[in-house]
Structure 1
Amino acid sequence: MQNPIASLHDNITRFGFYFGGATLVGIVICFWIEVVSRYFFNSPTLWSNALVAYFLCISVSLAMPELARTHGHIAITILSEKLPPVARVKYDRFLVMIAGIVCLITVWIVVDETLRQIGSGTTTAMGINVPKYWLSSFICYAFINTSFHFLRHAFFPAPAVDKNNT
């Protein structure tokens, strides 16, 4: 049975992943509107490119923790595959611990920048004028949530699953 806090963390991550998928729908809609307005009405929008960029930032930020949770990230495994099973487990745990620490350092940098944006009142450009810290908060969420998943994998590894017997 899984820890209720870990289960809540997984559910929040999964919800964010689905919300990130919804922003991809927003990207498609923005492109449709741009194509129709540009090529059928000869009146391109001023906001669609910016909104697509912001939706992409949100989508990636919300998908990143789910990839860490499910080990869905790209890995170069040539070294770990050559290690004996016991050493491989230790090596994999060490790598996810380092990844979690790097993500936490990134959180510190992003939070510092977000606070600077709040203090200076920095806003986005390209036709959509919203506080820039809104986007930075998604990036902060991405890295802190991803770091928690990496650290969970490092300190509380799930039992190995035999992929041939599932």
Structure 2
Amino acid sequence: MIAFSRFSLALAWGAAALFTLAGVMLTYEVVARYFFTKPTIWAAELSQLCLIWGSLIAMGWALSNRRHIRVTAITSLLGHGPQRALELFAMVAVALFSAIVVWKGFDIFYDSFERGRTTGSLLNLPSWVAELSVPFGFAVLFVQSLVESVRLLRGDFIPADKVPNE
């Protein structure tokens, strides 16, 4: 579990780098287009890829650090036992949903890969480059939800009112 947590953290740092790279590319595009009237053919599409990959590969880290959206209006009124049970239920639901997305997402990726689909843009990148991020990101989320389930079953639980709000 520690190794996967490190992997998840590395992916989160990679996502941060991708977000930064997207910002740099879009800034360059704005400057090139509006100050030098020399727009690029690559900045918009590559920054979209960075944002897509960054968002999806960071999901596991967000789950492990409870940085996803949580509605705790009712659960925070419950005792620690019911909160833990609901948290475990949520992790199982995330795991099931993620498994379905990995399955269906892989089918979409593989179909595009086999058929050689492209984006149809000026760069004409293969479509599977963006589509692969879905099964990969949700596979990471699936494993992380299983890790979180095991942690909950072992008694490692943070009540809703104690989760940091940084």
TM-score category of the 2 structures, normalised to the smaller one: 0.7 to 0.9
Deviations 1:2-57 (CA, angstroms, capped at 9, x unpaired): xxxx1111111111111111111211221222122112211222221111111110
Whether the 8 Å CA contact 2:29–2:40 is kept in 1: the answer is yes
Structure 2 counterparts to residues 61-72 of structure 1, below 5 A: 61-72=56-67
TM-score with structure 1 setting the length:
0.87
Distance in 2, matches of 1:89 and 1:97, equals 12
Identity of aligned residues (%): 20
Q: Report the Cα offset of residue 84 of structure 1.
A: 2.3
The residue that corresponds to 2:140 in the other structure is 145
Q: In structure 1, list runs of 5 or more residues that go unmatched.
A: 1-5
**Partner in structure 2 of residue 128 of structure 1:** 123
Instruction: Please list, as runs of the form range in 1=range in 2, the aligned pairs for 1:1-166 lying within 5 A after superposition.
Output: 6-157=1-152, 159-160=156-157, 163=162
Which has the higher mean CA deviation after the structures are superposed, 31-40 or 17-26? 31-40
Mean Cα displacement is larger for which, 54-63 or 121-130? 121-130
Q: Distance in 2 between matches of 1:155 and 1:32?
A: 43
Amino acid at match of 2:41: L
CA RMSD, aligned part only? 1.9
- Give yes or no for contact 1:37–1:43 (8 Å, CA) kept in 2: yes
Q: Which moved more, 1:31-40 or 1:55-64?
A: 31-40
Query: One-letter code of the match for 1:43?
Result: K
For the residues of structure 2 that align with 1:127 and 1:46, how far apart are their CA atoms?
Answer: 6
> Is contact 1:69–1:146 with CA below 8 Å preserved after alignment?
no
2: distance between equivalents of 1:125 and 1:101? Answer: 34
Deviates more, 1:97-106 or 1:121-130: 121-130
Q: CA deviation at 1:161?
A: 5.1
The CA distance in 2 between the partners of 1:102 and 1:72, in whole Å, is 18
Matched letter for residue 98 of structure 1 = A
Number of aligned residue pairs = 159
